[in-house]
Every structure is written in structure tokens, then in C-alpha cells.
Amino acid sequence: MVQIDIESMDKINTKLREMKLEYEVEFVESEDHLVRAVEDISTSNAFAFDCEGVDLGRSGPLTIATFCSLDSSTIYVVDVQVIGADQVFSKSKPSFRALLESNKAKVMFDCRSDSDALFHQFGVKLSGVLDMQIFDQAVRIYNGEALPERCDYLSPQHIPRLSNMNNVASRYGLSTAKMSAPHVFNSKVWSQRPLDAKTVAYAAQDAHIIKLIYRAAKDRVPSNSASGLWFSLEKAVTSHCKRYEAMFRDRDTEVNRLLEKDFITEEIAIIHSSRLPSNHPNTISSHQSKGKEKWDFAIKALRSKTTSSNTNDVFHSVMFILQHDEWYTDEAFTLLRKLAGKYPYFTARQRDLISCPPALPREEDWEEEYWNNTYWGDY
């Protein structure tokens, strides 16, 4: 625990007011101020929450915790390093522990490293998270901008990936230009004391953006949707967020790869297509959707070894997949050829083409001529 400097804290808060931000920021560096912050956040139904630290994770020190009620404009930036975790997350005194472990909604953005650090450093088991990284993907599914599930055999660039905060904010038209980061490639700035007002303001801004994303995303999905889609999405998001809370925390070893932390692919669908109503606005038009549609159709027919009303439909779907080698994984091609070889309705000529398919001109991939008998001949 670092010696508390009340005068330094007051100077930072004065400078924060002079910055004339669109929201109020209070830097919390004393036990008395901590108690007031806890009392304020406790009265809210939900709050935005974010953490900063040095290579944040179970072994990367969590030094700053930021809280902001969704019903208030005040953002509390709490100096965990100076006040001490025994105070900020106390089991016996007024602290944020009970709030973080309760089911009260905590709106966050990518809670995985935060949850990992809270549990392994302070024994705080984060619960009740509504993660905007997951919520955003659910909203895009609702609007038909993303597929309700992924295909394991599509190559990574054609699988929906979780977006970072800046991308998500831009998606909802939020003009939230980030302040200059107090660090570039060195996060040790979060352990250096005393902090300056700009660094504190930077930490506060993340909580502010999280709150804005929540409001904007929620507006995209009417809560009174007659289709019941909102209920399905909300339930699916809540379930995924529980998995998200534990994704890093419950692993035997710490996750420290940058790509896995920042841009991990969702390995389980937010919501499956079978749970969507028939009138769902499935408007996505991309390589990804075409590739998945063709894969699902072909693989189902090949695995069941049953013919469709037109056997050539199965052949065309198999050829489509094989001729778009940049869309699919090597495992997909191997499995497809193996199953196609056992499919009883393909002719010898068709099997030869499957073994060595002709290439399609890339610029005309979607033209109907590639699916009619003029191009393929009598197969």
C-alpha cells in the first residue's frame, strides 16, 4: 500500500474539473472517499465497470478500478494500488467486493482479463456481467448483420470475430474519439505514482464509452418485440457472459497471448438459428453467409447419403465449396472429399470434377450461369 497523499488527490480532481469533460470524474485515493463512492454506486440498478493494470491478468497487477452508475454522470476512478486492495475489496468494511460479486448488472467491455485479475489477485469472483462485446454481437444477429451461428469449417477470416471497443463504438455512430493513451506498448504507466489528471481521465473515458455503447445497442433491439426475439437474445447474452466471466479465470494457466485476449473468436454461437423466429430479418449478404449456406446443405446431404429432389443441387454445393478455397479450412476440404466419395448419387464424372474442380472467375462468383446446365453440362 502506497502512502495516501490527500493534497495530490485534490489537485488531480481540480485539474479534472478544469478539463471540462462532458461527464464528472472523481479520482478516489482515500478511504473516506472510497466509502462515499461505494454508497453512491450501491444505489444504482446497474453500473459500468472497467479495470486498468500492468499487463492485466492474474499475474498482471490491477491498479485502477473505474465505476459509473448508469443513472448518473459521475465516474469514480479508484486507485486500488494506493488505497489498498484490503480496503477497496474488503470482506468486512464497506467496499466494492459485494457489488462485484452480486447479481447487480455490471456493464463491461471484454471482462475476461478483469475477471481473471480480480479473482486471482483479490479473491473477488465477478458475477452479473453484461458484456458489450457479446451484446454487440447479439444486436448484429438481431438486425441480420451477423449469422446466428458459425461454421467450424469456414476459415478464420470468414468467422465473426469479436470487435474491439473503438470498432463497436463506431458501429453505433458514437463520436467518442479516444484521448491520447498514457501508454503505447508499455502498460507500466498504470503502476507509476503519482498519477496525472490525463491518465485518470483516460481511465474514466473507457467507462463512459461502455455506458454509451450500452445505451446505443439497447436502442437497436426493442424490448417489447412481439416476436420474442429480444427475450431469446437477452437470455443467450446472459448465458454467454457467465462463460465470459470464467473464460480466463478458470483456466489452469494464465492466458497471455495478445491476440487471444483482444480478438478471440466466439467458439460457441451467441444464439442458434433454430431459436430465431421465422420472420427474423436475416439480411446478411456476404461470402460468409453464402459459404455457410452451401456448407450446411452439402454436408447434411453427404452425411445422410440421401438424395435431394435434384441431385445436382448437392453436387453444385460441393463444387462451390471446393472452388472457394480461400473461404474454407484444409480440414473442410478433406472431410468434404471423403464424404463425397461415399455419396451414392454422384456419377463418375462428378467425382472426377470433385477431385480436381475447375476454377471459377472470382469476379463472377455469384452469377446464376454457374448454377445452370449451360456451364456444368449434363451431370
What pLDDT, on a 0 to 100 scale, did the predictor assign at position 271? 73
Spatial distance between the Cα atoms of 84 and 57, rounded to a whole number of angstroms: 18
- Residue 106 parent element (H or E): strand 105-108
The domain ranges of the chain are 6-274, 287-376
94-97 long-range contacts, CB within 8 A, separation 24+: 94/34, 94/35, 94/38, 94/39, 95/34, 95/38, 96/38, 96/41, 96/65, 96/67, 97/122, 97/124
Q: Collect all residues with Cβ–Cβ distance below 8 Å to 372 and sequence separation of at least 6.
A: none
Confidence of residue 263 (pLDDT cuts 50, 70, 90): very low
φ, ψ of residue 251 in degrees (nearest 5): -75, 150
Contact in structure between 95 and 71 (CB atoms under 8 Å)? no
What pLDDT, on a 0 to 100 scale, did the predictor assign at position 373? 40
Spatial distance between the Cα atoms of 116 and 248, rounded to a whole number of angstroms: 6
Contact in structure between 255 and 248 (CB atoms under 8 Å)? yes
Q: Is the pLDDT of residue 256 over 60?
A: yes
What pLDDT, on a 0 to 100 scale, did the predictor assign at position 379? 43
What percent of the chain stands above pLDDT 70? 77
What pLDDT, on a 0 to 100 scale, did the predictor assign at position 362? 54
| Per-residue pLDDT tens digits for 221-244 | 766 555 566 777 778 888 889 999
Confidence of residue 103 (pLDDT cuts 50, 70, 90): very high
The one-letter amino acid at 373: N
Q: Is the pLDDT of residue 89 over 70?
A: yes
The one-letter amino acid at 376: W
What pLDDT, on a 0 to 100 scale, did the predictor assign at position 160? 57
Angle formed at CA 328 by CA 322 and CA 334, multiple of 5 degrees: 65
What pLDDT, on a 0 to 100 scale, did the predictor assign at position 229? 66
Spatial distance between the Cα atoms of 204 and 219, rounded to a whole number of angstroms: 23
Strands 46-53, 105-108: parallel, antiparallel or unpaired by DSSP? parallel
**The CATH homologous superfamily of the domain defined by 6-274:** Ribonuclease H-like superfamily/Ribonuclease H (3.30.420.10)
Spatial distance between the Cα atoms of 283 and 144, rounded to a whole number of angstroms: 5
What pLDDT, on a 0 to 100 scale, did the predictor assign at position 184? 54
| Per-residue pLDDT tens digits for 309-325 | 678 889 999 998 998 88
What is the arithmetic mean of pLDDT over 22-34? 94
Tell me the range of 186-190, 224-228, 241-245, 262-266 where mean pLDDT is highest. Answer: 241-245
The residue ranking higher by pLDDT, 137 or 41, is 41
Q: Collect all residues with Cβ–Cβ distance below 8 Å to 224 and sequence separation of at least 6.
A: 230
The residue ranking higher by pLDDT, 59 or 364, is 59
Q: Collect all residues with Cβ–Cβ distance below 8 Å to 47 and sequence separation of at least 6.
A: 41, 67, 68, 69, 70, 99, 104, 105, 106, 107
C-alpha cell at 312: 445436382
Confidence of residue 262 (pLDDT cuts 50, 70, 90): very low
What percent of the chain stands above pLDDT 90? 45
- Predicted TM-score (pTM) of the model is 0.75
Q: Collect all residues with Cβ–Cβ distance below 8 Å to 88 and sequence separation of at least 6.
A: 34, 65, 78, 80, 95, 96
Strands (E), the chain: 24-28, 46-53, 62-69, 74-79, 105-108, 129-131
For the chain, the average pLDDT equals 83
What pLDDT, on a 0 to 100 scale, did the predictor assign at position 92? 94
Q: Count other C-beta atoms under 10 Å from residue 269's C-beta.
A: 17
